[in-house]
Amino acid sequence: MAKNLTQKIIENHLISGEMVVGQEIALKMDQTLTQDATGTMAYLQFEAIGVDRVKTERSVAYADHNTLQTGFENADDHKYIQTVAKKNGIYYSKPGNGICHQVQLERFAKPGKTLIGSDSHTPTAGGIGALAIGSGGLDVAVAMAGGPYYITMPEVVNVHLTGMLKNYVSAKDVILEVLRVLSVKGGVGKVMEYTGEGVETLSVPERATITNMGAELGATTSIFPSDEITKKFLKAQGRENDYVELKADADATYDKIVEINLSELEPLAAMPHMPDNVKKISEIGPIKVDQVAIGSCTNSSYRDLMRVAKILKGKTVSEDVSLVIAPGSKQLLNMLAKNGALADIIDSGARVLEAACGPCIGMGQSPKSNAVSLRTFNRNFFGRSGTASAEVYLVSPETAAMSAIRGVLTDPSEIDVDLTIEEPEVFDINDNLIVLPATEGEEIEVVRGPNIKPFPQNKPLTEKVTGEVLLKMEDNITTDHIMPSNAKLLPFRSNIPHLSDYCLAPVDPEFPKRAKEKNGGFLIAGQNYGQGSSREHAALVPLYLGIKGVIAKSFARIHAANLINSGILPLTFVDETDYDSIDLGDEIIIENAVKQIEAGNILTVKNATKNVTFKVELTVSERLKKVLIAGGLLNYTKQNA
């Protein structure tokens, strides 16, 4: 039977289940990655499982998020991660080595391999032909311990590319077009598989830009075939032996087909405050720009920054614009320094940041009040930049650079510069910021700073679950709303008690206090609750606050999984009109909760305040029911060790 590429890789890693859309399957994970904002918690969880050493082919811990060391907290976390990694067989990428997804693409990702990462943009590695999936830290901990990763067998969407991009149109415009067509919910439960003659015109970094922002579709992952372009990239990285040709069978079938003609695309921008709010730049017009930020795991490759350098060469950034540029890795920063491109960038008046996530995750460079900020990043959620009044647009590096010079949003086709960039035949390879794991048996002391607190653990589910409605929310509540991420809070990712004072504060500043006074309760939400970053803390902090369940119209995939891992019930309304009848302070009761869950997927919930009952659905497998009844994945894993 003919198979698409996704089916081939899944079949090769299938531990249990059948490849039937909608059914739960278990996959063997070849590789894992963590970053420092999620890594401390993931490794605390790994230690709690009680396995001495990772069981994967390659696990890597990156320090790329919390690199502003304004106090001891970040440095302490980095030391903990470095020592626990060395002890347990994990490679450690030190601060300054680069963004996890960029470095993973350069040095570790392999075609045909599975990768799970505690960061929602792990699918970046799909650009090299890996089946790479973002998840919560506990899922990564279980995978490192040798356990399978469970997902629902996804639909596979064929994004069929034809034609070739015009000069000044980039891979960023491709994924913005896909977002325009499908929306931020259009990829839920799906893998986006790219095929067609247009694929051959895209380099691996361009493909990685597209798979990176597949996360904004809500997709399980995105993937490109592994072909001669892939082989050339791996050879240039000194990894030609990692190459294997991978593609769909000629007569493979898909659940849906999306046609994109690259030749017809124009420069696009995602307008505030959602990645799918996409329009042509020619339609938006020359709005005044205050800040331009180039970088992130989406657009900080050698190709991206070389094109930026060409545009900036001999020009000066507008006096009214602050331009900041963050390279994706030490490798490409070295190359830009050696070939003179870095000098062209600096000469223009741009500020060069270190090779890290930086402003993409709110770690510095917040724009001024009421600013228009153009960013080559992947998300423009309200307040994510650190300035609530800012208007953030997502654009390509070409658009960003040209707009920085002009001082207004500029269609990059207006400037005549040859942007042809040849991919290097040999990249500048120097892995001296990657710390190798210790040999087995070597004594390593794990160093724990005072900011590292125990993570919350749930108790087994009781037959009667009761609590007040502590907050009622609208559609598209993101993990940035649930657990804000900024320079102030990121250093406390290993300190759940401290973070609890800020949980859901962007929605209601009184929520943390109310949750503590009421000893927990329920949350009510609209569509797509929990979209955005993997951010396991968006489940761990509500667990600490005593949240027993979230009743929503729908959930984002990773957040629903994180809630389950924490033992919090992710329930959806059977009749969405019941959402309208629930108010803040209503008492919610689920009688015979364990028996109801064991009996089926439809539960009866009572609103005791209104003296009415309504139906909710718990869309989980039989295994996940046991996880919830056990009080979360860690409890379940220990029980079944």
Which residues participate in catalysis according to the annotation? Answer: 64-65, 119, 379, 533, 535
CA distance 522 to 45: 25
Phi, psi angles (nearest 5°) of residue 408:
-135, 155
Give Dmax (Cα) for the chain: 72
Q: Which residues contact 190 (CB under 8 A, 6 or more apart)?
A: 154, 155, 156, 157, 217, 219, 220, 255, 256
Phi, psi angles (nearest 5°) of residue 324:
-120, 140
SS (H, E, C) 92-127: EECCCCECHHHHHHHHHCCCCCEEEECCCCHHHHHH
Beginning with the edge strand found earlier in the chain, give each strand of the sheet holding 131-134 in spatial order.
131-134, 114-117, 31-35, 58-62, 91-93, 434-435
DSSP H or E segment with residue 42: helix 36-49
- In the chain, % helix, strand, coil (3-state, to 5) comes to 35, 20, 45
CA distance 423 to 353: 23
- Contact call for residues 133 and 220 (beta carbons, < 8 A): yes
- Contact call for residues 281 and 395 (beta carbons, < 8 A): yes
User: Using a CB cutoff of 8 Å and minimum separation of 24, what contacts does 8-14 make?
Assistant: 8/246, 8/248, 9/112, 9/114, 9/131, 9/223, 9/246, 10/131, 10/153, 12/112, 13/114, 13/131
β-pairing verdict for 291-294 and 256-261: unpaired
CA distance 542 to 511: 11
